[in-house]
Structure formats: C-alpha cells, structure tokens
Structure 1
Amino acid sequence: MVSVLITFSRITILIFVMVFTLLDVIQIFEAKIGEDLSGIFSTIQSIMVVFFLINGSIILYYVKEDPRIILLTIFQLVLFVAISISMTKLNYGKSGALLNNMLMLLSFSFIALERLDMSRATRQFVFAIASAGIAILAMLILKNIKHINRKLFIFALVGIALLLIVHFTGKVEYGAKLSLSFGSISIQPSEFVKLTYLFFISGCIVTYKDMRGFLFSTIGAALHVLVLVFSKDLGTAMIFLVAYVFIIFIAYKNYIVLSLEFIVAFAGGIFAYNRFPHIQSRFIAWSDPLSVIDDKGYQITQSLFAIGSGGWFGSGLTNGQPNKIPVVTKDFIFAAISEELGAVVAICLIVIVMCTSIMLFNRAFACSSSFYMLVINGIAIIFSIQAILNIGGVIKFIPSTGVTLPFISYGGSSLLSMFICFYIAQCSDELIYINKGRRRYD
C-alpha cells in the first residue's frame, strides 16, 4: 500500500509543482495580465502550495508512522494563513505571486527536513514562527523611523561591529568563523548584517547625491568585506561584494566603475585563493571530485550520485538515500530534493527561484522611494546570488561556498533574515508612509 502511494505521489507532486511553476512564469508579467486574472492565478497557486504540502506530509506519515508529521502540517498551514493575513494588514499592495513563492519555498523546506531529520524539521517550524513574528515587529518599527536613509552610519557601525565580534570570538565551522554560540543556540550575525549593509549603502547613495555617496559606500563596503575575508567567510564576502557592485551600478549606471569593480573583485578572488588553503581544497573537490572522493570530494560526489540516481522523476519521497550526503539539511538540501522528487521538480524549483528574483526586482523598480528601491534591489541581488551559489555548488557548476538555499536550508538566522527581507519587499508601499500617512520621497 505504501509503495503504491509513493509511486502515485511522484505524479501528483510533479503536477502540483509544475502547475505552480507555469503560473509563476505567467505572473512575472503581472502588470500585463490584469489584476483580476492575476488574482485568480494567485489563488490557484495557493491551492497548489496546500496540495503539495499535504501530499508530501501524507506520504511521510504513512512511511514513518509519526503523528508529529500530521500535527506539524496543520500548524504549518495555520502559519501560512497567518503570514498572508499579516502581509495584507501591513500593506494592501502586496504581491500575491511573491507571497506564494515564499510559501512554496517554505513547503519544500518543511517536507525535505521532515524526510531527513524530524527534530530539525520541528526546530525549523519554530524558527519560521519566530521569524514571522520578528519580521512583523521589524516592519512596525521601520514604518515609524523618519528619514531612515540618514541613519546610514549607525547601520554601518552596527554591521561592522557584529562582524568583528564574530571574527574575534566566533566559532570556527568548515574552516571559517561563521557564528556565535550561546550554549545550544548558535547565531550567524552575518545574516542580519546583510540588512544593515543594504540600508547603509542605499543611505549613502540617497543622502549624498554626489561623489561622497559613492566614496562612503565604497569604504563601508570594503570594511565589511575585509572583515569577512579575514574571518574566512568567503561565501558571505562574495555576496556582500556582488550586492555592492550591482547596487552601485543601478544607482549610477556607470560602466567604467562597473568594470573597475569587477577587476578589483577578480584580483581579490585570486588573493583569497592563494591565501586560504580551504578555498584551494574546494577548488580541487570541484574540478575533479572523484580523484579525492575519500576526502575533499566526498560531499560533492555523493551529491552528484544522488541527483543522478533520482533521474527525471525521482526515486519517490523516502525511497532515496539522501542522508549519505554530508550536511544535507543545510548546504546540500537541493540534492536531496532532486534525488527523491526528480530532476523535473528540481528544474521547476530553479524556475520558481528565478521568478522570485524577477518579482523582487519588479517590486523594487515600482517603489516610489529611491531609498527602498535600492534596498529591495539589494534584497533581490542577495536572494539571487545565494541561490546561484548554493545550487551551483550542489550540481558542480561552481565550487561549493557553504551558502544556504534561501527559505529551504535548515537554519534560524538565514530564515529570519529572509523573512525580514521579503516583508520589506512586500510592504515597501506602506514603509514610505510616515506617521500621518503622508508619502515620504527621499
């Protein structure tokens, strides 16, 4: 009976995800298809999210016979409703498609983690509840900060201070200082610094509309990146650098500056490769993983084996062996999804991520505040580069960087950071109002 359900679920899950993805692609052109039709498509997408989550949970329940799965599913659906209501209350101009994408990515996370590790799945759900609550609180605070762009140096000091604390007292993980530990609790401050970093750079550009804005943002960005480099957190350093480069280009549209920044970034990459042995190890594992399969190449090799064994339609939920991949709940969760749900679902997931990035850029350029326009562009860039670095490392397109897959990988700090980012993007129209309801144009 269970084997029949698993086989049948390969078809139903594929249908739910493909319908969702097709509507996602259509909704990129939300302005052209009309508000009414867009609303219908968003409703259908919401139904697909619910069906996908319930379908996966039923299979996991029948295989594991763990009643916690059913209980978690009920609470997860309640959480999804609460997130949707909270965004509607905070801003009536929210994007239904962007909200659905966020919930679909969370559904992938919940299903994958319940399959891999129930204790982590439970903690991830708790993280999601806390993240939603903190994100709502953050929006209420941001709504009441007047002239937020002028607080740029406060954002810079807070961000650099947090990174320095990690550099001097942080816990070393996989060759880099990434987190602060408080007993059993581990926090990764760089995830939150991404937000203060975006606020700082955007504030520099908007507040100083001359060369000073460029100089201040460049100096501040360089300090952030250098602290991360010396902490050997090169994946995050790359994200910060790319975000800076493209925000500056969006603001100034200067191709000469863009070229110079790419040259400096390339030189910095060569320096990092020669300076840090663990980066060289990752390049060896990337270029020829089979030659070092017993050591440096074991993780990427197991990832490729898992993806290959899944084929186009997957081995079926719970029929694979994803736990053979080291750190599968974090860096390599995409490989676990590909093995059991198949390459077609994995490709759909990539398309959903791409559509999410485009929708974030659309939200940014539709924003009437230049400050929040740059901030949301930064959010889109960070979301995109994180997804590229994670998925690219999993499929051996680029060397692994240890960057998490947004909303899907296990981890409270990353999840909270993404929640706040998406709430900012969704509630951008409301954030440019001040206390009396008057729009503030920076």
Structure 2
Amino acid sequence: MTQSTTTKRSPEATEGPVTRFLRATELDTRLLGMVGALVLIWVGFHLYGQLVNGYGAFLTPRNLWNLSVQTASVGIMACGMVLVIVTRHIDLSVGSILGFCAIVMGVVQVYFLPKYLGLGHPAIWIIAVLCGMAVGTAIGALHGFLIAYGGIPAFIVTLGGLLVWRGAAFLVARGETISPVDSTFALLGGGPYGAIGATGSWIVGLLACAGIIWLILHGRAQRRKFEFPLRPVWAELFLAALGCALVIGAVLLVNAYPWPRGIVRQYAERNGIEIPAEGLFISHGFAIPVLILIAVGIVMTFLMTRTRFGRYVFAIGGNPEAAELAGINTRWMTVKIFALMGFLCGLSAAVASARLNSATNALGTLDELYVIAAAVIGGTSLGGGVGTIYGAIIGALVMQSLQTGMVLIGFDAAIQQVVVGSVLVLAVWLDKVYRSKSK
C-alpha cells in the first residue's frame, strides 16, 4: 500500500521575484505606474526633438527647472482637490478663485498699501499674501456652507463660482492688468532671484536625506513597538538609498542650470564682482515656488495620514452615511475641506501672479481642468475614499510635462487641448479598471 503525500507550498514560495520585491518594499504599484508614465513622456519628447530638430530640448536642466516652476501652481491646488474628490465632491471654481485672489493681492500691494506704508515697505508682500489667502479661504468656506447646509450639489455651487469669481475679478480690476507687483512678492514666482542658489539647495537636500532616513528608522521603531510585521533590512536600506539618490539627483539638476549671462553681468556690476574670461557660473538652485509646493505636499500628507481630520476625510469618502452615524459632523467637515481648498487657491494665486509679475483677469483660466486631471491621474478616485497627495503632485507634473513637451515640438493650442482632454478621460477609465480588479 503506497501513500502519496503532497507538499503545500507557501504563497511566498510561488511568488515571482518582482512580486516579492514589491511586497518587501511595500511600494505602491500605482505610484510606480505614474512614475513610469512620466519617464516615458520625458524620454519620448526628448527623442522626438532629437529626430525632428537634431537636438533634444526636454531632458535639459533649463527645461526641467522651468517645468518644476510651472508645475507649482497647479500642484498646490491639486493637493486640496484630493480632499474634495475623496469626499465625493468636485470643485470647478478653483481657477476663478485663483484669478480673483490674484487681483485682490494686486490691488492691495499696488494701489492700497503704498498709500499708507510707503512704496517698497517690507510688510507689503506679507500683508498682500495674507489677504489673498484669507479671501480664498472665505470663498471656499462659503462654497462649503452652501453645499453642506444649503443642500446644493457641489457641481452647481462651484460651477456658479467659476462664473461669479471670474466676473468679480474683472469688476475689481476694471479689466486692467495690475503690475508691477512688489519686488519681494515677485520672488515667490521663481526666476534667478526667486531661487535659493547652490548652497541653499545642498542644505535643503541634506535635510531631506536626513528626514528620509529618520522616517524609515522611526517607522521601523513604530512597527516593532506595536508588533506589526517588519520590512526586511535590505528593503529598508533600498528605500533609504533610493530616496536619498533622488534628492541628490534633484539638487545636482537644479544646480546645473546657471543664471542667464545678462543677469550675471548686472549682478556682478551691482556687487563689484569681476567676471573671469571663462564667465561666471551662478546656479539657480531650487526655485521658491517649488519649495512651497514641497512644503504644502508634506503638510497635506501629514494632515491626511496622521490626524483625525484626515481619517474623517477618508471615512466620509468611503461611506458618508456610515460616517455620519459614527458621529462625524460631515457638514462641518465639508465646510472645512472647501475652506482649505480656497486657502490653497489663494496661496497658488500668490505663486502664479508673482511668476507673471502682474495680476491679470485671465490668470487661472482652465486651471480647474488641470487641477482635477492632476488629482485623477495621480490616483484619486472619483468614486471617493481613495487618493494621495504625492500622487496628485506627480499627476500635476505629468500634465505640465505634456503641455511643455507639446510646446517644444510645435503643437498648437488646439492639439494640446485635445491631448489633455483625452488623457483625463483615459485616467478616469484606468481608475475604473483598477478599482474593478482590486475588488
């Protein structure tokens, strides 16, 4: 009599090397997909430029530095749009709120404050920015109140806001372009003087690397404290090395982009510096709007993942009725979420108007499309309950990369709009497919 025995293999033994790697490092597959798509876009536009024009202009320090600055305004608002969409709402008014806040800041610093504080007073830019963010917060809170307590759908409220605040901006400015803005305020928009230079960038980079290492060590300590499964040591080392390598690569990139020769000459003459025969190389370093975007991303990520407010946001998005039965004041949460969205619109307005050195009535036009697209491309589900801040920032970078690449290869505005709209529809379809497979 023979007895056959079967050996059961553990699920880990049947996994492939890629699956084991992803499980050990706990990397988000959707994040990897977005990064892969971004790399393909960059390489594709660069190679296309080489084939057609004989040189690739996309993967250059100058273009990538400008790309980061152009992404900042949309990226800041996309961080707030994540919360709005996660809670199953939508905000179509963000571009108009940005335009209105920019006009308010322009009027305050160009027409109002110089009469009382004097032209060039150091407090002008601070008061202007605070006024813009306060106005944005108030508008967002008003929208949230109408949605939560008035029972009006967010689509209708914000669609009305899109029209109202664009018209209000025209009335306040009387259709005029308000410029030039305060010289210190203009630094918020980037440019040679609106960057922190090579030394400042290395300081930021080293601090970021120290932060990455601390987060990994702290996370491991917390897992051990609460008896959660630990990642393998090699996975922790890999994540630390990868994060630090990306940070150092970013520092080297922004430091490789020098000031234009004309500005270097003016700077040297003003400071009594003799320019050598080979020229004077002064690095831009990280632009101030990019640092603002990074700071917003860090704060919003902490808010979403480490606070009661963030847990309430995901609870409302997952099941609003259950969240209300659990004792969450969903109406007041809606007001706070839209107020936060308005605050970020005001901050983004400061960056956008400073970059133009003026406030115009057209500022922020169609930004609502790019902000919503950035959030959705970044993995925020229109069905609610799912979304990440870092995903929205990467989504904003994808959107801006498409626009910049199409400009570099000579596509006109009509084709750009076709591509952006198509990408938005594709992103929603992919989200639907991903959700259906993950159930």
- Asked whether the two chains share a fold, i.e. TM above 0.5, the reply is no
* Higher gyration radius (CA): 2
Structure 1 length as normaliser, TM-score? Answer: 0.29
Which fold has the larger relative contact order, with Cα–Cα distance below 8 Å and residues 6 or more apart in sequence? 2
Structure 2 length as normaliser, TM-score? Answer: 0.29
